[in-house]
Structure 1
């Protein structure tokens, strides 16, 4: 059973999401929050698998709440616009992906399942657009001591993840099997303490392995 916490300051929006998600087999909404602080408290109390987090809420906003979330839940940011100005910062702070609020019901349900399974909700196309749109505005890249823990192959794989490649694309680029590519990605995540693929994208840029012009 996938346990979900909804965080949105609009009761009508929460009611709509709850009705949709509770109707799905294997899903249940365990709590609703009207602001970020409440979302953090409820996540600690209910230990959900997924938090649907509105980015703009009164008091503590979704960005701060994402940063202060207890370990465990994976966070999907809800935005009004597909390339919200806070999306890249939310990914840096631990979000696993994002959805626009007017997304189709089937896409929302699929997104919850994908994130609950441990994958990042970032298609290669979206990853490339995010890097091009936001990474150029972020702080200049700086070397990360953590990258010294990676093998040369793992650094290579990390750079390809950062450009938005899937495991299959990485496998084709590096002449390896998709299973081997997946193993390299998993080991890289473990060594860098990355929650998911979205975090690897951020690390790849901030360490200087990937730059917007490359994609």
Structure 2
């Protein structure tokens, strides 16, 4: 493969399978030595989520009809996968889901500074490891500062909502492409893979794409 493989990832930082899938993909990319060019794109799992958010157990029950026991089993499975992948899920009874529109705006801002990926990773950790409220603009500005970005500028960007229309347009584009859930990964602008596929699954995908370019 002469040119880097373009990988577009449509995701939401509220989605545990997005960070699991990314970590699996990253391991596969390293193992195969695949040159790549990765791009993150916004998707809101819960665009109507109110400012106060919602308890995680209640949210899953309401959205998917899952029982408390089923949710706990799912959390256990994700925690184990996270441990294997070097990501720390710390679930609590009062773990909450939040609106992510502001988070996506901050990511859009960070992209111009070449820090979108770093901020994305920091937001996953802030939510799933530290249980921070990612709908709170002060929390988002704090996370930006923690990775070396300008906190006051981050706060101003969120307060004036200057990138709101840009984010809406990108979200709309991917929805029009048929993306209904995340993670959604598009390889080489043409091969759509949904859900977390596992290290072996991503390795097979990368090897197949490499063969196609030879």
Q: Same fold (TM over 0.5)?
A: no
TM-score normalised to structure 2 length: 0.25
Higher relative contact order (CA 8 A, sep 6+): 2
